[in-house]
Structure 1
Amino acid sequence: MIFQFPLLLSALLCLPLVWWLLRATPPRARQQVFPPVTVLSRLHPKETEAARSPPWLLLLRLLVAGLLIVGFARPFIPGSHNGAVASGSVLLVMDDGMWSAQDWTERLNAAQSIVDDAERTKSRLLVLTTAPQAEAPSTAPELQPAAVVRQMLNSLHPSSWPVDRARAAQQLEHLPQTPFARVVYLADGIAQGDVDSFAKALHARGTVQEIRFAPQNSMALAPSTPAAEGGALARLLLLPSPQPRLVHVAARTTDGGTLAVVPVPVAASATQADVQINLPIAVRNRIDTLNVQGVASAATTVLLDENTRLRPVGLLSSGGADTPLIGSIFYLRRALAPLSDLHEGTLDALLARPLSVLIAPDGTLAGAQSQKTVQDWIKNGGMLIRFAGPALAGSQRDAETSTPTPQDAARDLLPVPLLDGARQLGGSMTWGTPQHLAPFEQTSPFRGLSIPADVTVSRQVLASPSADLGAHVWARLADGTPLVTHMELGRGEVVLFHVSSTADWSNLPLSGLFVAMLQRLTEHANGLSTPADTTLLAPAITLDGEGMAGPPPPTARAIQGTALAGTVVSPIHPPGLYGPPDGRRALNAAAGMQSLQAAQPVGTLTDASGQRPDLPLGRYCLLGFVLLALLDGVLVGLMRTGRLFAPRRAAPLLALLGALYATPSTAQTQDATAQAHVPAAALETRLGYIVSGHEDVDEASRAGLQGLSDFVNARTSAVMGHPDGVHPGTDDLTYYPLLYWPITADATTTPAMTAALNTFMAHGGILLIDTQGQDGTNSTDTTFAADAPGTTAALRRVTAGLVIPPLVVMTDHHLLAHTFYLLHDFPGRYAGQPIWVAKEGDAENDDVSPVIIGSADWAHAWAVDSAGNTPFAVIPGGSDQRLQAYRFGLNTVIYALTGSYKADQVHVPMLLKRLEDKP
């Protein structure tokens, strides 16, 4: 048992005094008047001796006093830590990759318990995380006191990419040669990376205690394609468990709506299970996200893109077309079934439903009326895929003209004019040999597909030579003759395979290439195409470690289109959606994973129960004090009156009991305060200023923002608190809508500071940069103030890494000029300075400028001292100029709080009228 306030135990020395007082003031005896002896009451003895209290009552009251003293000393039993806690430096290594999000709360609780141990032994800690960061820290990890480490742990969040234990091993090797009394590793239990070198580097620092958090519950959701077996959209990967499990996977839309919750049974010892969504095609194609219910992690979240949609495809059939091996739709049906929503039937039946693609084998589009119906359907956006064959070759032989024109081809639903008959390649009656396929060109939707060496063509229909024939070719044979041609018709397309859909003209239908080509065409039918090698896909939406979608971080980089499939998620390529809105591609955290494997223990293996929190005993001591005090009162009452204790005496003690029991112990309160420390800026709206390191500048910034906050509070419904000085890269900037940044000549930034400011602006914050103008070189000109000496170069230096959109000089037509007051000038301490804001239409976050740059020295104009006076003069306009500066500041605050609300066109007539009435 440990006492948080051991000095209070000295009060136990007063217990003998309590014993003496109890002897001196025994309970009053029961009085019974006996008339015959009333005369004796007038006799006064020479000595009096008090009756002694019963020994059990003395012991009871001593126990009551002792419990009161011990209770206020706040004793507690230290939590179990699977071994004695040694005094000395502590090395805490944490896996904070994408699998740590599944038990992040338990992980932080265990880490905080380790920090508590270090705090009691006055030890310092060094914390090392294993997930890589986009920007390496500028300084090496150092030993920190427990209070600093506790705050650092509260600011940690799980990453959306795996850990890099090889990098962590290098960091361990470069740590100072400091002896560690305790080395604790909070592991995710998943085998990944170079575990051996990491374990070796960890053991070199001391005896390792490894804590795992229910590794059998670790899981991942890997994406699959609609061509997967059974039409599965994803595959659940798990560590084996001796018990069967039931996992629920939710299918949601982008706006968060849930379309289905699918139970996925997992057999005992199974390591994977398919996730099948049995929904109508129209509903299934609306699914944007799959995630495991109850597990918030990027590893258990799958984003779907257009490549996973099922396209409704119609397949024209006729009598005998499905004859095994020789029927015209036999191979088509087997190639298309897993790729799309396939429907078979007559032309009228197929076109009566929504279709993306219509496939017509040879001989199925006969008759002018059928061709006219299909032509209208194509012009509305459909894609017709035709296959050649004896019927098509014969129709060209029977044509009226031997040289068909492109107009004739379009009328006949052909992409190019065809020559008569069919070309024979190979056989006993010809000198030719079957032709192989040529590599696909970069303009073809088939680019990138691997061509099997055994695929050959022995017969084909030939395209009529023309000057623009090459523009219609998507695939060729090795001799250059077209194999697949296309033509745009209205908003749709016509595609022709110059071979039949059976195996008598080519063995292409027998190959996997045939399936891949049909898949590319169904995707292309909806306006999708695979990015070319040179196309860069910019990040559009990314996931954080808990699987929540949001804007990409400033460190995210674009990915080359064809490299997306092989890209591994990392700090520069976080999981998310990449590319333009009409062709976004998904990069998922678990893409490409086949299974999960448990990692071998690095040290002495324990679980989270090995870090149980301390058990406070103070409240129980005080509870015992109140109960025994009540018992004492009851017993004394019985001794005096022989009746039950009066309820009115019990009421105050019962109230005290409830208050003491409801009040948490000091130890728990301190722990809760330390673990759930909430910044003041999270409880009230505050402005912030970036600390420059110059006391006079920082004091002016603080006083200026205080004066501006008071002005805003007095004239608007906004309630602003006291301003805060912040250090970007160290302090959390999330809570501030506006940061004031005074630029000094020696101003510098660090990568962490730049990244923090970029994140701040990307999430809607506004950065007001002030170069603190001073009088220009012409001392007689008091209406203009140039930048302060040296701040022009400093401004270029500190903004070099910031993501700033194109800037223009602000005019009184800008939204900032009428968010609250209608302003024509925007002075500060100095007047006549230009203000630079983002060009309209180039800013993110609802076209709100993330940065405002000027040199009017607004802080000195806004500043107020402790007496409420304005200590700095404004030049040249005096009080009127100061009022305009305050009004500009108020407009800026409202702009930061409400964004482009005031840009609503409904306000334009009123604003124009007020501008006309203004003298």
Structure 2
Amino acid sequence: MIFQSPTLLFALLSLPLVWWLLRATPPRARQQVFPPIAFLSKLRPKETEAARSPLWLLLLRLVAIGLLVVGFARPFIPGTRDVVQTHGPVLLVLDDGMLSAADWTDRLTTAQTIVDDAERTQSSMLVLGTAPQAEDASPVLTPQPATTVRQMLNSHHPSPWPVDRERAAEQILHLPATPFARVVYLADGVAQSGDTAFAQALRARGAVREIRFSTQAGIALAPATPAADGAMAHLITLPTGQPRLVHVVARATDGGTLAVVPVPVAANATQADVHINLPITVRNRIDTLAIQGVASAATTVLLDENTRLHPVGLLSSGGADTPLIGSVFYLRRALAPLSDLHEGNLETLLARPLSVLIAPDGTLAGAQSQKTVLDWIKNGGTLIRFAGPALAGSQHDTAPPPNTPDIAQDLLPVPLLDGARQLGGSMTWGTPQKLAPFEQASPFRGLDIPADVTVSRQVLASPSADLGAHVWARLADGTPLVTHAELGKGEVILFHVSSTADWSNLPLSGLFVSMLQRLTEHANGLNIPADNALLAPAITLDGEGMAGPPPPTARGIQGNVFATTSVSPIHPPGLYGPADGHRALNAATGLQSLQPAQPVGTITDSSGQRPDLPLGRYCLLGALVLLLLDCVAVGLMRAGKLLAPKAAAPLLALFAALGAHSPPLHAQDLNSVAKVPAAALETRLGYIDTGHDDVDDASRAGLQGLSDFVNARTSAVMGHPDAVHPGTDDLSYYPLLYWPITADATTTPAMTAALNTFMAHGGILLIDTQGQDGSTSSADTTFTADAPGTGAALRRVTTGLVVPPLVVMTDRHLLAHTFYLLHDFPGRYAGQPIWVAKEGDAENDDVSPVIIGSADWAHAWAVDSAGNTPFAVIPGGGDQRLQAYRFGLNTVIYALTGSYKADQVHVPMLLKRLEDKP
């Protein structure tokens, strides 16, 4: 045991004085004989006063005082590490970039043990992080007291961008010339540029002790490029020498989990693709990918519109879908499983948001159609055309108008020669050509080309100097197979073969499916900000991957350089741009691999870095317990319940019994306690049991989610919700009852009477017809947004209830500003009316005893055991769910406090009277 303030132990020398003071007794009283007392002397006294404190009480007090002295001396048991005896400044350098968040708790614990060593030797410390900081958060480059460093470390968090060891090396070189007694480096174990200069600068300050963490993940998640083979992300990891299984979680905007995908990683692999096989509509809802169990900006990928499966339009004409020979037959089968496919004529397709338009041969014949498609392409659309007899038979050798590019004239990426080239057949000398390997600049790179795919006919591109820059795929003889050209914000792509099997067997192969998938992924999204637009930060991630508002130091990014921008203090990872066209900047974008770093100094790990175990708190707690025992003993002695010295054994037996598991002494008392409902011991919300498991489960989950929301944002403490049965259970414990109405809902006289009593004594009944169905509305139906059958059920169950006159609630009602200021009150459904008591007609301080609506609040509030929101809101979005939670919180506060908010209008008058009072 070691004491941080050993001089205080001299106070133990005062124990003999304490002994003398405690055992001192007042002088004996002088005896005076009084004859009447002689009769009383014959009586045996029932109580005796101790002449002096009993020995056991003296010992108890001495032990208590000794524990106080020892506790204030701050004893501790040293942790399992090298005991440092060196005095002098300590330099602590730690990697605090995005790859350190996975083991940040262990990193801070180890740093605190180093601070303990410095505090014990009364040494100053200098802490330097390797991640760059914002300009207004420059690091302190002078040694500080250990207590100041401890506070700084407690508020320190990992950064959501990589470390910059080259910059850290420059800071180390410019440190004061004061020699450091110790140099400790907490490394993340991942190599970075500038490691050599960093190692040299650190070693120049003294012998370096480098600590690496066995729990560090060394793992990142990078967004996939459009050319990835169906992968949504790439898992990048340090080679560990052992295979492992990593789980990637796909979440929607509202936080709901859409999929958990296992990703196997080979023993020495540095990358693994993350494939998520979900229906297209569900896949397009994914907004975030994250590695399960590793909270970090480096393991979180935000998705934007460019990562969605883009809606594709397929132009069709009469007979185009004829099996095996129709122009859209193979296209439809290739695209349907991979994209959001729509078919129709040009007017129908362009009337909806569209990212890609596929035009088989002969579908863009009219000048007006080409003009419409041209404008659509310039705004960001991607046109994919296929050759065929119609395109081969048209004239392409006419000169274009002056200053007008060929692509804008006929929607072709390159000029074409007239006619079609025939390869193979009885009338030609050539043979069908195979495909050449795809070049690195092509979006088809990496695709396997089947040996049996051949082309027997094609349209030829006119030779030009820049033809090679427009080619994405070639035949074995070098002639173009797929060409492209940019036009405005969009692009035009041409397959020089038809979409049927007449000119090539490419549409019959799996390569055709893969090529179309690559092209749809390569296309722009629906909302493309202008290239010169400044994309302001909207949502950013912190070092632990949590989304929040952007920090004050965040700056916008120009759209034309967004793709090449790296994360930094002024450009943290997150979503940039307008709400309808967010672009994602991810921490691991551009990260290709992770390599182990070379050691900077003597490598150790944190397994033996157990911090000191302070004993002072336990000594002080023991002293407090003994002093309490002393008070109890003295009180009992004065009451005559304890007699010295016979009191020691009963007292010890009493406190021994307190720590033992003794059987109940009074079963009837325990039974009476067991009968007290939990709602009497804590504030709880209740819901009326309907007998339908799905409805009751949603009600319970919804009220649990609402209770958690109230607990997190107010000082109210809500317990778990209860299912109640009016007429059987006591409702007086609940301030608010939620009643979901089902089509078969009925009541009994006892149930009606119990609900009337509940409302008459201040309770609020929230009735929810949970849904919307226009078919249920009629002329005599007051509530026109009920689920099927619930309108009649509502009239049936409210018969007999004492309900005051109701009106539609507006944002001027007290319920709209009890806590939050609200203008609408959605649940799972938005735009539904809410009916409350007319102001002035309600009892109980003009608080409405009943609230009736059909927004289905329980499903909007519901959370599952994992903390996710399992039910979607309609029309959707996190804002609607947040508004639903806020309405629920307002309702709970309204039920708990009544009309206190309305009374605040009198506050100015009351304050004025107080000021005028003399």
TM-score calculated relative to the size of structure 2 = 0.50
| CA deviation after TM superposition for structure 1 residue 135, in Å | 4.8
Match of 1:802 in 2: none
2: CA distance between counterparts of 1:433 and 1:199? Answer: 63
2: CA distance between counterparts of 1:134 and 1:507? Answer: 58
| 2:301 is equivalent to residue 302 of structure 1 | yes
| 2:190 is equivalent to residue 190 of structure 1 | yes
Counterpart mapping for 1:114-263 below 5 A? 114-133=114-133, 135=135, 141-154=141-154, 156-225=156-225, 228-235=228-235, 237=237, 240=240, 247-253=247-253, 256-258=254-256, 260-263=258-261
Counterpart mapping for 1:9-158 below 5 A? 9-21=9-21, 24-25=24-25, 59=59, 61-133=61-133, 135=135, 141-154=141-154, 156-158=156-158
| CA deviation after TM superposition for structure 1 residue 225, in Å | 4.0
Q: 1:278 to 1:41 in 2, by over 3 A?
A: same
| CA deviation after TM superposition for structure 1 residue 97, in Å | 0.7
Counterpart mapping for 1:450-489 below 5 A? none
1: CA distance between counterparts of 2:461 and 2:156? Answer: 65
| CA deviation after TM superposition for structure 1 residue 95, in Å | 0.8
Indicate conservation of the 8 Å contact 2:421/2:458, yes or no.
yes
| 2:387 is equivalent to residue 388 of structure 1 | yes
Indicate conservation of the 8 Å contact 2:223/2:233, yes or no.
yes
Q: Deviations over 1:305-364 (max 9, x none)?
A: 3332212446677567489xxx99779977x6897456899999999999754545458x
1: CA distance between counterparts of 2:123 and 2:154? Answer: 19
| CA deviation after TM superposition for structure 1 residue 555, in Å | 6.7
| CA deviation after TM superposition for structure 1 residue 133, in Å | 4.0
Q: Deviations over 1:501-554 (max 9, x none)?
A: 57997999999999779845775575577998xx68755445443333544765
Indicate conservation of the 8 Å contact 2:250/2:287, yes or no.
no
2: CA distance between counterparts of 1:132 and 1:366? Answer: 55
| 1:92 match: secondary structure | strand
Match of 1:546 in 2: 544
Indicate conservation of the 8 Å contact 1:217/1:239, yes or no.
no
| CA deviation after TM superposition for structure 1 residue 25, in Å | 4.1
2: CA distance between counterparts of 1:109 and 1:563? Answer: 38
2: CA distance between counterparts of 1:501 and 1:517? Answer: 11
Match of 2:563 in 1: 564
1: CA distance between counterparts of 2:332 and 2:16? Answer: 101
Q: Deviations over 1:858-885 (max 9, x none)?
A: xxxxxxxxxxxxxxxxxxxxxxxxxxxx
Structure 2 unaligned spans of 5+: 29-37, 43-49, 436-440, 659-918
Q: 1:414 to 1:97 in 2, by over 3 A?
A: closer
2: CA distance between counterparts of 1:492 and 1:92? Answer: 53
Match of 1:586 in 2: 584
Indicate conservation of the 8 Å contact 1:251/1:290, yes or no.
yes
Q: 1:332 to 1:138 in 2, by over 3 A?
A: same
> Number of residue pairs matched?
608
Counterpart mapping for 1:593-612 below 5 A? 593-601=591-599, 602-607=601-606, 610-612=609-611
For 1:307, the aligned partner's letter is N
Match of 1:622 in 2: 623
1: CA distance between counterparts of 2:27 and 2:63? Answer: 18
Q: Deviations over 1:96-144 (max 9, x none)?
A: 1112233435434443443343234321112221113465998982222
Q: Deviations over 1:221-265 (max 9, x none)?
A: 111146534544453646648685553524232xx4435242435
Indicate conservation of the 8 Å contact 1:92/1:185, yes or no.
yes
| CA deviation after TM superposition for structure 1 residue 273, in Å | 4.8
Q: 1:94 to 1:429 in 2, by over 3 A?
A: same
Match of 1:898 in 2: none
| CA deviation after TM superposition for structure 1 residue 90, in Å | 0.5
Q: Deviations over 1:792-833 (max 9, x none)?
A: xxxxxxxxxxxxxxxxxxxxxxxxxxxxxxxxxxxxxxxxxx
Q: Deviations over 1:665-724 (max 9, x none)?
A: xxxxxxxxxxxxxxxxxxxxxxxxxxxxxxxxxxxxxxxxxxxxxxxxxxxxxxxxxxxx
Counterpart mapping for 1:429-508 below 5 A? 497-501=495-499
Q: Deviations over 1:408-437 (max 9, x none)?
A: x99999999999743679999999999999
Q: 1:536 to 1:515 in 2, by over 3 A?
A: farther
1: CA distance between counterparts of 2:311 and 2:199? Answer: 53
Indicate conservation of the 8 Å contact 2:420/2:459, yes or no.
yes
Q: 1:332 to 1:208 in 2, by over 3 A?
A: farther
1: CA distance between counterparts of 2:74 and 2:480? Answer: 91
2: CA distance between counterparts of 1:214 and 1:494? Answer: 52
Q: 1:54 to 1:222 in 2, by over 3 A?
A: same
Counterpart mapping for 1:644-683 below 5 A? none
Indicate conservation of the 8 Å contact 1:224/1:235, yes or no.
no
For 1:158, the aligned partner's letter is P
1: CA distance between counterparts of 2:230 and 2:517? Answer: 19
Match of 1:275 in 2: 274
Q: 1:572 to 1:412 in 2, by over 3 A?
A: closer
Match of 1:881 in 2: none
Indicate conservation of the 8 Å contact 1:482/1:498, yes or no.
yes
| CA deviation after TM superposition for structure 1 residue 299, in Å | 0.5
Q: Deviations over 1:71-94 (max 9, x none)?
A: 454544455544335321100101
For 1:422, the aligned partner's letter is A
| CA deviation after TM superposition for structure 1 residue 149, in Å | 3.2
For 1:180, the aligned partner's letter is F
| CA deviation after TM superposition for structure 1 residue 592, in Å | 3.2
Q: 1:531 to 1:384 in 2, by over 3 A?
A: closer
| 1:211 match: secondary structure | strand
2: CA distance between counterparts of 1:139 and 1:552? Answer: 18
Indicate conservation of the 8 Å contact 1:530/1:561, yes or no.
no
| 2:273 is equivalent to residue 291 of structure 1 | no
Q: 1:589 to 1:483 in 2, by over 3 A?
A: closer
For 1:131, the aligned partner's letter is A
1: CA distance between counterparts of 2:399 and 2:75? Answer: 103
| 2:609 match: secondary structure | helix
Indicate conservation of the 8 Å contact 2:321/2:329, yes or no.
no
Match of 1:467 in 2: none
| CA deviation after TM superposition for structure 1 residue 388, in Å | 2.0
For 1:305, the aligned partner's letter is D
Q: 1:415 to 1:181 in 2, by over 3 A?
A: closer
TM-score calculated relative to the size of structure 1 = 0.50
| 1:184 match: secondary structure | strand
For 1:297, the aligned partner's letter is S
Q: Deviations over 1:19-47 (max 9, x none)?
A: 3345554999xxxxxxxxx99999xxxxx
Q: Deviations over 1:172-230 (max 9, x none)?
A: 34434433222222222333334455344433433433334453434311111465345
Indicate conservation of the 8 Å contact 1:328/1:362, yes or no.
no
Q: 1:194 to 1:511 in 2, by over 3 A?
A: farther
**Alpha-carbon RMSD:** 6.7
2: CA distance between counterparts of 1:635 and 1:169? Answer: 70
For 1:87, the aligned partner's letter is H
Q: 1:630 to 1:240 in 2, by over 3 A?
A: farther
| 1:215 match: secondary structure | coil
Indicate conservation of the 8 Å contact 2:54/2:644, yes or no.
no
Indicate conservation of the 8 Å contact 1:26/1:53, yes or no.
no
Indicate conservation of the 8 Å contact 1:236/1:275, yes or no.
no
Indicate conservation of the 8 Å contact 1:235/1:275, yes or no.
yes
Indicate conservation of the 8 Å contact 1:435/1:479, yes or no.
no
1: CA distance between counterparts of 2:133 and 2:200? Answer: 23
Q: Deviations over 1:623-668 (max 9, x none)?
A: 4633764797699865548579999xx99xx9xxxxxxxxxxxxxx
Q: Deviations over 1:585-623 (max 9, x none)?
A: 433211233444444554341317615254132324414
| 1:159 match: secondary structure | coil
Q: 1:101 to 1:643 in 2, by over 3 A?
A: closer
1: CA distance between counterparts of 2:621 and 2:149? Answer: 31
